[in-house]
Structure 1
Amino acid sequence: MAVSEQIKAKALVQQQNEINDFAIYTLLARNTADVHNAKLLRKIAAEEKNHYHFCQSITGKDCTPSRYLVMFYLLLIKLLGSTFAAKYMESREIDAEAFYLELEAQYPQARRIYEQETRHENRLISMLHDSKLDYAGAIVLGMNDALVELTGTLSGVALAFNKTATVGVTGLIMGIAASLSMAGSAYLESKESNDTNIKPRIYALNTGGAYVVTTLFLVMPFFLFHSMWLALAVMFAFAALAIWLYSFYISVAKEAPFRSRFVSMIMLTFGVAVISFAIGFVARRFIGIDI
């Protein structure tokens, strides 16, 4: 069967992707202690290997996995868990699906591969169990509240006070106190939950820990810089980066739209900051605070 050079070039790209995915899914299976998860991941890896051989029959060439890509996913597994890594991989499969559909007329078996890429593998991934995703809500809760509350607080006191260190200490004290309150509330909330996979103490630690870490990043500029405006600018840059990372994680882990979540979170966080900034301006102008 004659195959155009254009199809061969696309098949070679896809062949490389498939062998990369095979290596990564194999790595995922080896790095999970859950027997159920390991079985599912090995099944997906075997499918990716079959897809690789199909592309190889078109190109007539051999490919080896990309070492750097595999190392990247190994880091992702350690930080965010196997399920997140698997879902992130599948979110990149749109080009693969289009490629196999394009080949269907010439290679009927491409239809079966397309269906595996679009439905079967997604179904298998949805069956994965990951304790790190069970506590994603706790991390999101702590991070989300810290971003909204602390950016607002720091923006308000930045105009009320003269010294950046004073703003930083104020934000740090308020942030740590709020994190303890959040952790306590999260503990009580999780105790009332019907989800037996969630342990209240770990849920509370994740909530409070996420709040504290976010607080440290937001107050850091006020200890590093003497210029209040520069410290505020860096704080907002940290906040925007944190919101981007938070939105990206949720969009992959929960399969939710990234753009709308990111925009709404930015508007909420920065909207509260602007209002607080105005309150701080009024306090300094009419109350005459000089600290």
Structure 2
Amino acid sequence: MQSDELLEREVYLRLLNSIKNEHDKEVLKKIADEESRHYEIWKEYTKVDVKPNMHKVRWYVLLGKLLGYTFTAKIMEKRLNEFNQMATKEFIDELRESVSDIDIILREEDEHEIELLAMIDEERLQYVGSIVLGLNDALVEFTGSLAGWTFAMQNNRLILLAGLIAGISATLSMASSEYLSTKNEGGKNPLKSASYTGIAYLITVLALLIPYAILPEKSYTIALIIMLALVVGIIAAFNYYISIAKDLSFKHKFKEMASVSLGVAAVSFLIGLVVKQFLGLDI
């Protein structure tokens, strides 16, 4: 526990340089100072100096740069607070016998979590709606298209060609639609909203096309299965991120998004078979 206080302090101080929001910067600086004070309290009882796990420090700092300081701070506090929640009453009572300040430390750790809950001014979270729009539309629309093309064309190279053309066109369409929508509604920054939507859509499109690009032409069934697995993986990863950063229910959002995307894919798959049979095409 003494080492973990330094772990949090080191991570927060290293993240400060990448934070533009002054309020969030002050919150993290205050928490870092309190973690340092907690370390000194533990040291009074342990009588030893300890060091933080630098591998974990570097990992959390990397997460902060890739996924944002809000997500990183919350997931780190969540992991460390799980220990306090799992600690039995008997264990806490035993600690109280030798560590009179334990209640102060536990109370302030809870306060840290509450303060972190309010830290949603980070830019990428301000535009999470735009990211959701691009990601969700790509997953629903593009998953359905790929499923339909898979058994209509039955050739990975043709599916890849159609996917690239349709995906890039749809990316530009979605980004421009988001720009006009945000501008007409008086949103914060139409260009940034459009950029987040377009980037989310394009990344999703390229990820779903990977199996069609690397597998042989006639392995379209395997490519479809891998693509659907990627869909589930992307939905799980994104909803986990949002559930941590914005304190939402992971299970509910995941089930909702996965059922819609896979449901559309199933319907489109059947449409592809029916259309191919009806038109009598053999590609």
TM-score by length of 2: 0.89
Q: After superposing the two structures, state which structure 1 stretch, 207-216 or 65-74, moved more.
A: 65-74
- The corresponding residue for 1:43 is 30
Q: Secondary structure of 1:168's match?
A: helix
> What residue is the counterpart of 1:153 in the other structure?
145
**1:100–1:114: 8 Å Cα contact kept in structure 2?**
no
Q: Deviations over 1:40-66 (max 9, x none)?
A: 111000111222223333433322121
Maintained 8 Å contact 1:187/1:201: yes
Alignment of 1:1-291 (within 5 A): 14-92=1-79, 93-97=81-85, 99=87, 102-103=91-92, 105-106=96-97, 107-127=99-119, 129-193=121-185, 198-225=188-215, 226=217, 227-291=219-283
SS in structure 2 at match of 1:63? coil
Verify the 8 A CA contact 1:142 1:208 in the aligned structure 2: yes
Percent identity over the alignment? 38
List runs of 5+ in structure 2 lacking aligned partners: none
Q: How many Å apart are 1:100 and its aligned residue?
A: 9.6
Distance, in Å, in 2 between the alignment partners of 1:202 and 1:123 is 27
* Cα separation, 1, equivalents of 2:120 and 2:237: 23
Q: Which moved more, 1:58-67 or 1:240-249?
A: 58-67
| SS of aligned partner of 1:152 | helix
Are the equivalent residues in 2 in contact too, given 1:15–1:52 (CA < 8 A)?
Answer: yes
Q: Deviations over 1:217-261 (max 9, x none)?
A: 112211221211111122112212211111111101211011221
Mean Cα deviation higher: 33-42 or 69-78? 33-42
Shift of 1:194: 5.2
Tell me if structure 1 keeps the 8 A contact 2:74–2:113.
no
Question: Quick one: which amino acid aligns to residue 187 of structure 1?
Answer: Y
RMSD (Å) for aligned C-alpha atoms = 2.1
State the alpha-carbon separation in 1 of the partners of residues 223 and 181 from structure 2. 36
SS class of match (1:91): helix
Moved over 4 A (4+): 97-102
Task: Give the stretch that moved more between structures: 27-36 or 148-157.
Answer: 27-36
What's the offset of the Cα at 1:264? 2.1
5+ residue gaps, structure 1, are 1-13
State the TM-score, normalizing by the size of structure 1.
0.87
Contact kept, 8 Å, 1:158 with 1:164, in 2: the verdict is: yes
Q: CA deviation at 1:134?
A: 1.3
Give the aligned residue type for 2:103. R
Give the conservation status (yes or no) of the 8 Å contact 2:131–2:197.
yes
Task: Count how many residue pairs are aligned between Structure 1 and Structure 2.
Answer: 276
CA contact (8 A) 2:143 2:261 kept: yes
